[in-house]
Structure 1
């Protein structure tokens, strides 16, 4: 297998006939590469996105199905339905913005979309012996969960820390989902890749954070999708955080996070349980 494998490389030899996969945010970037690879391996794939025109075109080009879903809108989540039980749930969609524009439900956008939207969706999707893959990010190193103010009501707003907090939430959600349900859930750190998620940011803002797409470590969306599909087909990964198609190990803090590691707070079972309980309080109608 190549040093930086693609999703297709990982799935070579896998026959996913009979699997039903749902990939949120599957109209572009890592999600699209994930969906294409799963479909080429034989899975029946449904992708979601906010724009029905873009989504229908993307789905047609990939030979998969599309359904509109806006993770910022509780009504959209409540109305969402799949035609059959899902065996692979890939919670891939994400938001990265520089502005504090709250969701329809009033949440900070990163926490509201990246975590709470997926938390609400996962409660509604019928699953059958499922592998659940939640895309976190190496950016989780930027922030632990602030349980006193997760929604940035009393703090000076820092969009990069807000994004980092949401990615920590993604990891903790996967671990607690694995513990609380009969399904296998894994968090993925896909690696450094530039996709449409950065469309709201200027080149200067990206450069200031080192997100310029240059230098060692950067990869294509197809390479970033490799860890996603690896987590979807590899046994024994429940409750783990993976990167570069391998489990990661804990690091005491988010500072100077080495490759192959995750910040210890992103896999702390007490934080994971506390976040789940907080999310249930914030979304009392999530399963309506």
Structure 2
């Protein structure tokens, strides 16, 4: 796909030291953008060899998220909420959240809302078609009583990404903001998130997965194409697992406006970050 000239634009990409984030950051930088690689390990960020600026951001720590946002000055044209994990066993963030929910959703929820006063262009949150198997349990979001299930935790976090995007766009529209919130599904990509995901799934990724540069295409499409807010981009072929980017559908659960509002309220309570956007 063709990326327009981004000279003079500023883009923040979380998790930009490898995989889809690195490919996204490199493509944006090649188009002239000033790219900020927001990464947990700054040394790995520098080793990624992407033109731009490296800043420390640990999405598993709300203190780190607040420090990153508090140190920001100037407009942000693109915020790419890319970083994501899939914990093989129950793990917790510095704030006690189940790690998948804490990093994939709550960390980005807090970051986006804290940076909103600086945002002028677009927010893109990386989700997945795995959201179709997500079922948020608001009585036990942090897996304190249920036996932990890796796939369910990841699927739930990806559903949360889409619900967040939809509710963010609703609030932006209500506020008369020109900022747009979109989401992207990269497809089946050969990244290290699948390294310990089980032999059958790992084999499928090795056989059918595309590289990170192709996985970044739906993210870039959601970021720069002329699309309405709350668009969901994904690959065109093989049940949206490979190919050129296009708009794709999402589950009925991900379109549930009441569920999105509930998740937003709970996310504010858990993170202690109050959105500048009214309900």
Report if TM-score (shorter chain) is over 0.5. yes
2:14–2:37: 8 Å Cα contact kept in structure 1?
Answer: yes
Which sections of structure 2, spanning at least 5 residues, go unmatched?
236-244
Q: Please name the residue that 2:156 is paired with.
A: 165
Q: How many Å separate the matches in 2 of 1:287 and 1:247?
A: 28
2:114–2:273: 8 Å Cα contact kept in structure 1?
Answer: no
1:10–1:226: 8 Å Cα contact kept in structure 2?
Answer: no
Match 2:261 to one of 256, 273, 276: 273
- The alignment's C-alpha RMSD in Å is 1.8
Q: How much has 1:235 moved relative to structure 2?
A: 2.3
Q: Please name the residue that 1:155 is paired with.
A: 146
1:97–1:198: 8 Å Cα contact kept in structure 2?
Answer: no
Bigger mean CA deviation after superposition, 239-248 or 132-141: 239-248
Q: Please name the residue that 2:216 is paired with.
A: 225
Q: How many Å separate the matches in 1 of 2:206 and 2:95?
A: 37
Structure-2-length-normalised TM-score: 0.87
Corresponding residue SS for 1:22: strand
Structure-1-length-normalised TM-score: 0.85
Q: Please name the residue that 2:20 is paired with.
A: 30
Corresponding residue SS for 2:106: helix
Q: Please name the residue that 1:253 is paired with.
A: none
Bigger mean CA deviation after superposition, 41-50 or 138-147: 138-147
Q: How many Å separate the matches in 2 of 1:104 and 1:171?
A: 24
Q: How much has 1:223 moved relative to structure 2?
A: 0.4
Match 1:48 to one of 14, 38, 48: 38
> After the TM superposition, which segments of 4 or more aligned residues of structure 1 sit over 3 Å from their partners?
208-212, 285-288
Are positions 1:97 and 2:98 aligned together? no
Q: How much has 1:74 moved relative to structure 2?
A: 1.3
Give runs of aligned pairs for residues 1-288 of structure 1, distance below 5 A. 9-11=1-3, 14-58=4-48, 61-80=49-68, 81-125=71-115, 126-181=117-172, 182=177, 183-199=179-195, 201=196, 205-209=197-201, 212-216=204-208, 218-244=209-235, 245-249=245-249, 262-285=250-273
Structure ranking higher on relative contact order (CA contacts 8 Å, 6+ apart): 1
Corresponding residue SS for 2:38: strand
2:75–2:120: 8 Å Cα contact kept in structure 1?
Answer: no
Q: 1:136 to 1:211 in 2, by over 3 A?
A: farther
Q: Deviations over 1:202-248 (max 9, x none)?
A: xxx432445642344x2110001001111111223311222122221
1:91–1:135: 8 Å Cα contact kept in structure 2?
Answer: yes
Corresponding residue SS for 1:23: strand
Q: How many Å separate the matches in 2 of 1:49 and 1:32?
A: 11
Q: How much has 1:268 moved relative to structure 2?
A: 1.7
Q: Deviations over 1:6-47 (max 9, x none)?
A: xxx332xx1111211000000100000000000111111101
Q: How many Å separate the matches in 1 of 2:61 and 2:265?
A: 21
